[in-house]
Amino acid sequence: MKLLRYGPLGQEKPGIIDNDGNIRCLSSIVADINGETLLTQLDKIKTIDINSLPVVEGNVRYGACVGNVGKFLCVGLNYADHAAESGMPIPAEPEIFTKATSAVCGPNDDIVQPKNSDKLDWEVELAIVIGKHTSYVTEEEAKDHIAGYCVCNDVSERTFQLEKGNQWDKGKGCDTFGPIGPWLVTCDEVSDPENLSMWLEVNGKRFQNGNTNTMVFKPAFIVSYLSQFMSLQPGDVISTGTPPGVGLGQKPPVYLNPGDKIALSIEGLGTQNQTVVEYTK
């Protein structure tokens, strides 16, 4: 299933994509696509005749594909070739950081360049969405705790991240730095999350062109690993790292400016499109 949230910011409704690519409204079935729905309602949604649901007409805004995200966790340097372009060693264990949940936004919402930002960067990433309470699980058990996957742009401000102390979170959690969606694709429709092609373009130029098969730590391992240090809850999002081609790794580096347009996609998980805008109070 491809589950989504659509409508104006703060007024999103739950939806599902039918076989013809139309949005069908799920409001008569569930209140939202959030942790509670992922925990208790997925089996119910699977039994519905999608074609009996009303079609959502016209162009609508896609919201973040998961509502009320409790934790937004990320894995850094999880592609060996990206670590190399960043001039950093491959970690012996997953490098974990967080994005503020206030960074979560829709997949096509504008990216706001923060005040005092001069090194705004992009990162196409596969994100895991947790489907049930997860604590101290094995790697094999972890697979049953994943509700699905989605596209994430781990937007980053490199000056904030790398030049203002050793804490990455400052450069990762600004408002609009966490577009997720357009859909949450359930596990039954993702045959092999460890072999998905992915790309990102800026102003029509392709900078990232990778595949999840080069990840150092794989999705189930990441879920198991994190569960040894904290419990994971339904609706939590884990972004799993990026392939090479980020702006920081260009020779010379290339960074985003207001007016730039970003497009990114992961095989089977949909496409995002964003425009960078200047911060205004």
The 10s digit of each residue's pLDDT in 183-204 is 999 999 998 999 999 999 999 9
Report if residue 25 sits inside a domain.
yes
Same domain, 146 and 227: yes
Separation of CA 200 from chain center: 13
Encoded tokens for 265: 């996609």
pLDDT range class, residue 154, cuts 50, 70, 90: very high
Q: How far apart are CA 175 and CA 173, in angstroms?
A: 7
Report if residue 255 sits inside a domain.
yes
Report if residue 175 sits inside a domain.
yes
As for how many domains the chain has, the answer is: 2
| Furthest-apart CA atoms within the chain: distance in Å | 55
Same domain, 10 and 144: no
Give pTM, 2 decimals: 0.96
Same domain, 106 and 231: yes
- Return the CATH number at 229: 3.90.850.10
Domain containing 48 equals 2-52
Q: How far apart are CA 104 and CA 33, in angstroms?
A: 14
**Secondary structure letter of residue 272 according to DSSP:** E
Cross-strand partners of 85: none
Same domain, 96 and 216: yes
What is the average pLDDT across 115-142? 98
At 126-136, the pLDDT tens digits run 999 999 999 99
Examine the pLDDT at 165 and tell me if it is beyond 90.
no
Report if residue 64 sits inside a domain.
no
Examine the pLDDT at 85 and tell me if it is beyond 80.
no
Report if residue 62 sits inside a domain.
no
